[in-house]
A = this chain, B = another copy of it.
Amino acid sequence: MKTNWQTLTEPTLLLDTRIAKRNLQRMAEKAKRAGVVLNPHFKTHQSAEIGEWFRAAGISRISVSSLLMAEYFAGHGWNDITVLFPVNVRDLSRIKRLSASVSLTLNVISLGSARFLVEEVMQPVNLIVEVEAGYGRTGISVNDGDKIEKLLHYLQQQNRHRFYGFYIHAGHTYDVAGPEEVAEIHLQTLAALGQLKGRWMADFTELKIDMGDTPGCSIMEGFSGIHAIHPGNFIFYDLTQGAVGACEISDIAVCMACPVVAKEESRNEIVVHGGAVHFSKDWLTTAGDSGTQMIFGRPVQLSADRWGAPIPGGFVRKLSQEHGIIRLGREAFEEIQVGDLIGVLPVHSCLTADCMGKYLTEEGELLNMMPWRNRA
């Protein structure tokens, strides 16, 4: 059944497939130009149907953020999967099942996890060692030479699993003011990875160096020494990516349709059905009229099959469980009525998509996502 966007009655995540496919094509072409493999992260869209667009673009290796997600995509015909999340040793049975059915690459960042995989998982897997250069999420610090030495010496001595190489997610590119800082981090990251490669390539002649992060992959052209890139968010982009200069606002491919349920004259604010259960609750800090302002989305006008540019001066000021409070300029406020539908561009499309679990395209078709909340 096809649904026209204008007939929607409740919060619905819209996907403009024209924009998303353009984003995909652009990244695929960039990877080709740069001579790197595009090994896209599927944690953003989490959808077998969207995965097929990647397959059509020639992609054969993919990345995911959990074993469960690996299982979902393995069930949809993907057979070379990298899990870019530190291996969860409690989930041994899932690792065994997956390693028996696909070419599996697991992320190890400690000697203990490496030992565990050598001792407990008989089917060969690839091991990718995550390093970090200042982001402070996960990975062995590139400066912790000792820890890297011990882990790699252990990997040399065993012959059950194959050491793939190093991976770095320069996630601090999300916390910067603009593209110059992203570029600086990107160059530092390349330099750190280059040193690592220099140190180890005599011992591991097939050693590869991979990197993630959509800002770096979007802004930069050069990927010297890199084998594969693993961006994920670029398929949809969002306001956060716009803020760091990784995309134009017109590159954002998802938007929440929200029914307007109230108007507050004294504050030029509208209340919409569309809250933290729909968007999640990530925020962006921007310079506002009265100092810095946390915002949770940007309103746009919706038509039957597309949305416009952000309404000037408009922003989502607050999200509670089901309510969104949107501040507007006076003119836009006066034009909108209770019962209208308004679009909201998300701050963080990965979390918003995960909250909603499906997409409604401009053709009125529903695309499903991995139903991870429903498993027994």
Contact = CB atoms under 8 A, between A and B. Distances in A.
Contacts of A93: 9
Contacts of A371: 373-374
B373 A9 contact: no
A203 to B, nearest CB: 24
A263 interface: yes
A321 B259 contact: no
A136 B318 CA distance: 10
A88 interface: yes
Contact of A276 (B10, B271, B282): B282
A110 interface: yes
B322 A273 contact: no
B43 A85 contact: no
Interface majority SS on A: helix, strand, loop or mixed?
mixed
Nearest to A11: B66
Contact of A259 (B65, B90, B351): B90
Specify which of A93, A356, A371 lies most central, judged by the most chain B CB atoms within 10 Å of its CB.
A371
Contacts of A202: none
A335 interface: no
Interface in A173-194: none
A242 interface: no
A339 B89 CA distance: 6
Contacts of A318: 136-137
Given A90-B9, A141-B266, A280-B281, A85 B322 contact: yes
Given A88-B273, A89-B338, A261-B87, A267 B136 contact: yes
Interface in A77-101: 85-91, 93-94
Interface in A254-282: 259, 261-264, 266-267, 271, 273, 276-277, 280-282
A152 interface: no
Given A141-B266, A338-B89, A273 B8 contact: no
Nearest to A67: B10
B374 A357 contact: yes
Nearest to A92: B9
Interface residues of A, number: 63
Contacts of A262: 86, 109-110, 113, 138
A4 interface: no
Given A43-B321, A355-B355, A263 B91 contact: no
Contacts of A277: 280, 351, 354
A56 interface: no
A320 interface: yes
Contacts of A263: 110
Interface in A95-143: 109-110, 112-113, 116, 136-138, 141
A276 B351 CA distance: 7
Contacts of A300: none
A113 to B, nearest CB: 6
Contacts of A113: 262, 338
Given A91-B259, A110-B338, A321-B350, 17 more contacts: A8-B90, A9-B88, A9-B94, A10-B88, A86-B271, A88-B261, A88-B273, A89-B339, A112-B338, A112-B339, A113-B338, A136-B264, A138-B271, A138-B323, A144-B266, A277-B351, A371-B374
